[in-house]
Chains A and B, each alone.
Chain A
Amino acid sequence: MSKPIIATASLAGCFGCHMSFLDIDERILDLVELVQWGKSPINDIKTFQQDCDIALIEGGCCNDEHIHTLREFRKHCRILVAVGECAIMGGLPAMRNNIPIKECLEEAYLNSPSTSDANPDKIFPNDEELPMLLDKVYPCHEIVKMDYFLPGCPPRADLIYGALVALVTGQEAELPYEVVKFD
């Protein structure tokens, strides 16, 4: 049997969850024995070359490109894992959810100390190449079905590793008290 293929994505996240994943250190060598790598920012493979078994998703959805990417992952991956608070509930970016989007943009591009002088023509970035901001930041499970959730900001490397190995080997993941934390 061929090894299961793993993909990862970073949506509205800070890459901290990916960094935490890399904190599994030398266990990455054990993981290589168990899995193959598909599309991921870690190996810079940008398109799905084949369907994947497990995808780790960091970050929620704050623009239309995130939604598109997440739906692509749902289409091409058997199991989607929401990794980290941003994927689970929006995280830090979702702090804007109770502020009207117009106010957010005005604060960022017109009124903040660093932009008020630098942007005399009062321009909002609006190139068609740029993704469109959504009204709110959405947790992943509000856009597509997510299969598993690993909390933490970022989730501890032990939690990510333990969950991956459990998924690949078909065992139930262990959830030790000190490893499952929300911060």
Chain B
Amino acid sequence: MKLLIKGGRVVDPVNGISRAADVLVAEGKISAVDKNIAADGAEVIEAAGRLVVPGFIDMHVHLREPGFEAKETIATGTRAAARGGFSGVACMPNTNPVIDNHALVEFIKSRAAAEGAVNVFPIGAITKGSKGEELAEIGDMKLAGAVAISDDGRPLMNAQVMRLAMEYARMFGLPVISHCEDLNLVADGVMHEGYYSTVYGLKGITRLAEEAMAARDIMLAELTGAWLHVAHISTAGSVELVRMAKKKGIRVTAEATPHHFSLTEEVVGSYDTATKVNPPLRSADDVRAVKEGLRDGTIDVIATDHAPHTVEEKDVEYNYAPFGIVGLETAVGLAFGELVRPGLLSPEELVMKMSVNPARILGLEGKGHLGVGADADITVIDPELKEIVDVNRFASRAKNSPFNGWELTGLPVVTIVGGQIVMQNRQIVV
């Protein structure tokens, strides 16, 4: 089957293209990008006034399968991704069991092939069971298709284990994704520490819980030469640490989430548990620093840390609710609203952070660009389309979004995966 995406503005930074052009897809690959391609029997997608970009890749997603299927499954999570304009997601290994060996990586891949609406790239655990004690079979997981390693959600407190993991992962060229959080400094905190935690009477989490760990891991990356990727960076201090590390030539990349550049700690005052997330929503100064980090290139990637939970788990007092926000279906709208329209990021830079850089960091061949022969993973965005976020219309099984009721402008209207349309006009079509 052939597809012709007609009349859109193609934004493909890898190939230096940012102009009106048609894109022809055949047999799952890009077969031409040019002016006025004849339809010649291809299914035509009208894209006038829209952006046609290499499929977005969310490199930080919790699909919850296996083990927590009440929260999300590979089927529902990948549909949420499709609706959010993502043609691929990398899923974190903190499932039950933890994805820490070859067979489990295979399991994710086979479930994704059977049930998934978009590409799924498994991330393996750093340590067995993510217990932080012994290294998992990282080399074998790489052979099975793991694209990175991480103990996300279970921070690796033992610096020696992290050092060994970095030395070891470096042999395979795998990035080590660090959820930077010193659990002792967190000390039962549930929100950002500062004026608002004092006013709301909630235990605070100091910025230092993240920054101390980011500093440690950056120094370990310098020592070992490994590739450190700092997950969900949330404080001004961490952004500065990454900026300095890059200046020194240390191999470090970083990601930020839409909620960390769109919301401040102040919203926690509603005691709405949809605002409870880890790392916590930070101060206005931190939000500014994260945006500046995105603007100046310190932060390479926008990733959602999509963290689904059931309504029942979240419908409790603030202290007792699990941490996490679902992000797949609001990310593009928030990025347009907070970053692109205010002029912090050009559309080209947005494509770098949501497609090109994630593909590079995870080593995904044929992804992140629209050159002839590349995989036909494509996102079409209507930068003017408005929609009020309604969690009840999410394709995700979960509803824990603090953006419910927000009006977003700039939304994905078509998601194509390997030449197949999986979302069109905001509706899932698989």
Say whether A and B bind each other: no
Residues of B near any A CB (own CB < 8 A): none
User: Chain A residues in contact with chain B, CB under 8 A?
Assistant: none
